[in-house]
């Protein structure tokens, strides 16, 4: 009995994950537990939802300043209930919380130096302005995503519109995807993240210990016709749109500017571009 | 046949009790990990696999190494191995149980482990690894049990066991090949991204497995009336010798390609292991120790009078086991994850709790091994007496 209903659940989840541009898989999965997920599981795109053949991101590095980068990281992490290990734990609510190991932190989008973001493009004569530029790195939503291939339970999957998503409730925490990702985009919840969330956003699920997570390109916002959080606060430094549409904003930028992608030689085909 | 296991000497029970205590300590440490998450380990965002997966990799090799007695005996009718074939098969059983447990304790959500079967992902190597490991475990349990039972009743093993025995040979090669494929198919990890990884795994397994078996032969000879036979042990030591030479040769093939091609993404990992990187050099003494142990092991096994020294051989085997363990457990994990894909150097060391859990699993493996070996040796004594 149990098995059958699970299987039919899987079918629904798979069909909706493959077929539709919204975020049904997330909402479906989050509705199965008590975490604060958006439980209005849609099986067809919302009216006004942003759709694309292949979502992609263009980052204009000339517009990245320390301040902008900080805002972007904060907006993303706050909205997605990403724990901050520097947050002082509320001892009343979470007594006896053990000290943190900062090497076990969780992050979706963060700042790196050029030679870390592009280790294969390290150059001793690189212009100073690039050496000190705060580069932003995040999940590349690769066309040939190694994490999707590695996942033994299809908890990480690729939507037809290019977004690589995760089902936090199916993930068994084997961390094969973390070994597979060439961009270090994935984080594992080595512990319950909730004591380290200053203010929980009720519109997005919190995670339990023992699962992997990463940037979801704000699939939950695109489904509502809104721009990703990072785009919203980036002061024009980040643009997200349909890479297959020649009229889209990202494509117009790519037409006019020279842009690079991380570790192109590996053939994963990242969907995040950096205008130099 | 199982009744044999509950009739033992005082020493037998004391030994099992000691192991049970160690195992209990592991269980207690695991309860803490289960409740609080893998934060209890030394793993991190950058080094996302650690001691569990390292020991898993090594033990898959020990399990596969059992085939080095099965092939000579069943394919080449090498009679000298008749007495120790069962020891090889039962060693594989114990090693595989440890492997599966090490995977379970490594999971962030162990209660969801069955998702691997509920939502099979045919592109994931982990799915196939699970299949071959379980297949090889069942094959060895069935074969070992049936052959021993037949020996006890002094009849030939049932005819249907032979196809299973032949099938277990490709399975043995398979478990370690697929385990290597877990690593070497990942595009972003220069250290693992090498076609020689599976052959190297096999070579090291065929050295480590039989080396463990030789040690166990000494133990069996000392504590039971059953004599595995010195000639069988000598043949095993030759197998260890050539497998170890192959392992070191494959390693030097790797070193040549990496350093002659001079590709930074591949060099940095081996630099980290053997020379240290950006001032981080926790692995350096380990790796040189490993390489030295393997070289000493080869020397002690290749020179006939050293190899045939009954007193020296167990020490040689211990050195080889330690050398290959460092190489394949610690080195494989640390080398693969350091530096990270973003070229940060985050070092890894297991925590005490991680060590206790791993030790607990080894204790359980030894309990299984002790009981199975008790069965095997008692039956063999009965038959001879």
| CATH number assigned to the domain comprising residue B294 | 1.20.1630.10
Tell me: pLDDT of A44 over 80: no
For residue B103, the distance in angstroms to the closest alpha carbon of chain A comes to 8
Task: Find the CB nearest B188 among A208, A212, A263.
Answer: A263
| B161-184 and B197-223 helices, crossing angle to 10° | 130
CA distances from B55 to B154, B242, B320, B331, B336 (A): 39, 23, 16, 11, 15
| The pLDDT value given to residue A243 | 96
| The pLDDT value given to residue B19 | 98
With 0-12 / 13-18 / 19 or more C-beta atoms within 10 angstroms meaning exposed / middle / buried, residue B233 is: buried
Residue B330 · residue B54 · CB < 8 Å? yes
Of B173, B128, B163, B117, the C-alpha closest to B142 is B163
Distance CA B251, CA B255 (A): 6
Residues of chain A contacting residue B36, judged by C-beta atoms under 8 Å apart: 98, 191-192, 209
Residues B95-146 have pLDDT tens digits of: 999 999 999 999 999 999 999 999 999 999 999 999 999 999 999 999 999 9
Helices H, strands E: what count in chain A?
A: 10, 10
Which residue would you say has higher pLDDT here, A12 or B172? B172
Interface test with A, best of B115, B127, B183 (most A CBs within 10 A): B115
Which residues lie closer than 8 Å to A187 by C-beta, 6 or more apart? A105, A106, A107, A108, A212, A213, A214, B45
Q: What is the mean pLDDT of the segment spanning B307-328? A: 96
Contact A152 B124 (CB under 8 A): yes
Q: Of chain B residues 28-87, which have a CB less than 8 A from chain A? A: 36-39, 41, 43-46, 48-49
CA dihedral B143, B149, B152, B156 (to 10 degrees): -60
Count of domains in chain B? 1
Residues A53-64 have pLDDT tens digits of: 999 999 999 999
Strand partners, A240: A57
For residue B210, the distance in angstroms to the closest alpha carbon of chain A comes to 30
Q: Of chain B residues 216-235, which have a CB less than 8 A from chain A? A: none
Q: What is the per-residue burial (b if ≥16 Cβ within 10 Å, else e) of B123-135?
A: ebbbbbbbbbbee
| The pLDDT value given to residue B116 | 94
Distance CA B289, CA B245 (A): 17
Confidence of residue A126 (pLDDT cuts 50, 70, 90): confident
Report the share of chain B in percent with pLDDT over 90: 94
Cα angle B68, B71, B74; round to 5: 140
Residues of chain B contacting residue A154, judged by C-beta atoms under 8 Å apart: 119, 121
Q: Residue B138 corresponds to which tokens in the numbers above? A: 């069942």
Tell me: pLDDT of A12 over 60: no
Question: Nearest-CA residue of chain B relative to A169?
Answer: B112
| The pLDDT value given to residue B3 | 83
Tell me: pLDDT of B48 over 70: yes
Tell me: pLDDT of B363 over 80: yes
User: How would you classify residue B124: left for phi > 0, otherwise alpha for psi between -120 and 50, otherwise beta?
Assistant: beta
Tell me: pLDDT of A249 over 80: yes
| The pLDDT value given to residue A123 | 85
With 0-12 / 13-18 / 19 or more C-beta atoms within 10 angstroms meaning exposed / middle / buried, residue B234 is: middle
Beta-sheet pairing, A238-242 with A259-260: unpaired
Interface test with A, best of B32, B41, B45, B52 (most A CBs within 10 A): B45
For residue B366, the distance in angstroms to the closest alpha carbon of chain A comes to 26
Q: What is the per-residue burial (b if ≥16 Cβ within 10 Å, else e) of A172-204?
A: bbbbbbbbbbbbbbbbbbbbbbbbbbeeeeeeb
Q: CATH code for A52-275?
A: 3.30.70.20
Q: What is the mean pLDDT of the segment spanning B17-43? A: 97
Contact B342 A103 (CB under 8 A): no
- Domain extent for B342: 2-384
State ipTM: 0.92
Helix (H) or strand (E) holding A136: strand A135-138
Residues B68-90 have pLDDT tens digits of: 999 999 999 999 998 899 999 99
Report the share of chain A in percent with pLDDT over 90: 76
Residues B239-280 have pLDDT tens digits of: 999 999 999 999 999 999 999 999 999 999 999 999 999 999
Residues of chain A contacting residue B110, judged by C-beta atoms under 8 Å apart: 172
Residues of chain A contacting residue B341, judged by C-beta atoms under 8 Å apart: 119, 181-184, 263
| B51-65 and B85-106 helices, crossing angle to 10° | 160
| The pLDDT value given to residue B105 | 98
Q: What is the mean pLDDT of the segment spanning A210-223? A: 96
Confidence of residue A14 (pLDDT cuts 50, 70, 90): low
Reduced to 3 states, what is the DSSP secondary structure of residue A34?
A: coil
Helix (H) or strand (E) holding B176: helix B161-184
Question: Nearest-CA residue of chain A relative to B124?
Answer: A150
Confidence of residue B10 (pLDDT cuts 50, 70, 90): very high
Q: Residue B46 corresponds to which tokens in the numbers above? A: 């950058």
Q: What is the mean pLDDT of the segment spanning B189-217? A: 96
Confidence of residue A21 (pLDDT cuts 50, 70, 90): very low
For residue B334, the distance in angstroms to the closest alpha carbon of chain A comes to 12
For residue A154, the distance in angstroms to the closest alpha carbon of chain B comes to 6
Residues B368-381 have pLDDT tens digits of: 999 999 999 999 88
DSSP A160: T
């Amino acid at each position: 009995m149990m098995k059958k209903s699970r299987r039919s659940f899987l079918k629904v989840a798979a069909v909706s994950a493959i077929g539709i541009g919204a975020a049904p898989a997330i909402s479906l999965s989050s509705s199965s537990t008590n975490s604060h997920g958006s439980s209005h599981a849609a099986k067809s795109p919302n009216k006004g939802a942003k759709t694309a053949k292949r979502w992609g991101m263009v980052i204009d590095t000339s517009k990245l300043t320390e301040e902008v980068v900080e805002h972007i990281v904060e907006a993303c992490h706050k909205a997605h209930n990403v724990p901050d290990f520097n947050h002082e734990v509320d001892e009343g609510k979470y007594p006896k919380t053990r000290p943190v190991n900062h090497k076990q932190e969780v992050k979706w989008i963060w700042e790196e130096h050029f030679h870390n973001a592009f280790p294969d493009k390290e150059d001793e004569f690189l212009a100073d302005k690039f050496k000190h530029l705060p580069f932003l790195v995040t999940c590349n939503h690769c066309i040939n995503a190694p994490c999707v291939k590695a996942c033994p339970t299809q908890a990480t999957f690729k939507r037809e519109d290019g977004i690589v998503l995760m089902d936090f409730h199916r993930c068994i925490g084997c961390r094969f995807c973390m070994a597979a990702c060439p961009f270090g985009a994935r984080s594992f919840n080595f512990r319950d993240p909730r004591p380290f969330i200053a203010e929980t956003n009720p519109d997005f699920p919190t995670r339990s210990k023992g699962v992997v997570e990463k940037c979801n390109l704000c699939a939950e916002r695109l489904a509502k016709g809104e721009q990703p959080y990072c785009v919203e606060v980036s002061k024009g430094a980040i643009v997200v749109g349909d890479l297959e549409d020649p009229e889209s904003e990202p494509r117009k930028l790519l037409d006019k500017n020279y842009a690079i992608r991380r570790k192109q030689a590996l053939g994963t085909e990242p969907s995040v571009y950096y205008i130099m | 046949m199982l009744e044999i296991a509950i009739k033992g000497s005082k020493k037998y029970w004391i030994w099992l009790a000691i192991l049970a205590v160690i195992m209990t300590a592991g269980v207690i440490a695991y309860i803490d990990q289960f409740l609080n998450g893998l934060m209890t380990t030394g793993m991190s965002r950058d080094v996302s696999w650690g001691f569990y997966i390292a020991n898993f990799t090594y033990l898959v090799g020990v399990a596969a190494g059992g085939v080095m007695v099965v092939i000579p005996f069943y394919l080449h009718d090498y009679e000298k191995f008749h007495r120790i074939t069962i020891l090889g098969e039962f060693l594989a059983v114990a090693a595989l149980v440890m492997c599966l447990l090490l995977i379970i304790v490594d999971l962030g959500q162990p209660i969801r482990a069955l998702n691997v079967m509920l939502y099979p992902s045919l592109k994931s190597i982990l799915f196939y690894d699970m299949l071959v490991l379980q297949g090889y475990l069942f094959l060895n349990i069935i074969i070992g049990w049936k052959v021993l039972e037949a020996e006890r009743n002094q009849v030939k093993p049932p005819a249907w066991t032979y196809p299973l025995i032949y099938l277990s040979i490709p399975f043995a090669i398979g478990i370690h090949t697929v385990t290597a494929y877990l690593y070497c198919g990942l595009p972003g990890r220069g250290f693992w991204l090498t076609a020689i990884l599976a052959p190297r795994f096999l070579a090291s397994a065929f050295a480590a497995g039989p080396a463990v078996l030789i040690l166990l032969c000494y133990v069996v000879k000392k504590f039971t009336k059953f004599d595995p036979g010195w000639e069988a042990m000598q043949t095993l030591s030759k197998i260890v010798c050539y497998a170890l030479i192959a392992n070191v040769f494959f390693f030097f093939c790797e070193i040549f390609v990496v350093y002659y091609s001079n590709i930074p993404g591949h060099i940095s990992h081996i630099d980290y292991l053997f020379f240290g990187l950006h001032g981080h050099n926790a692995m350096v003494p380990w790796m040189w120790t490993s390489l030295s142990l393997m070289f000493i092991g080869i020397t002690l096994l290749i020179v006939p009078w050293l190899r045939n020294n009954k007193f020296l051989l167990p020490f040689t085997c211990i050195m080889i086991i330690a050398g290959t363990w460092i190489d394949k457990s610690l080195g494989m994990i640390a080398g693969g994850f350091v530096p990270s894909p973003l070229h940060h150097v985050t070092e890894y060391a297991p925590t005490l709790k991680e060590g206790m859990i791993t030790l607990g699993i080894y204790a359980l493996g030894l309990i299984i091994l002790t009981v199975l070996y008790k069965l095997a040796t008692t039956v063999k004594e009965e038959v001879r007496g």
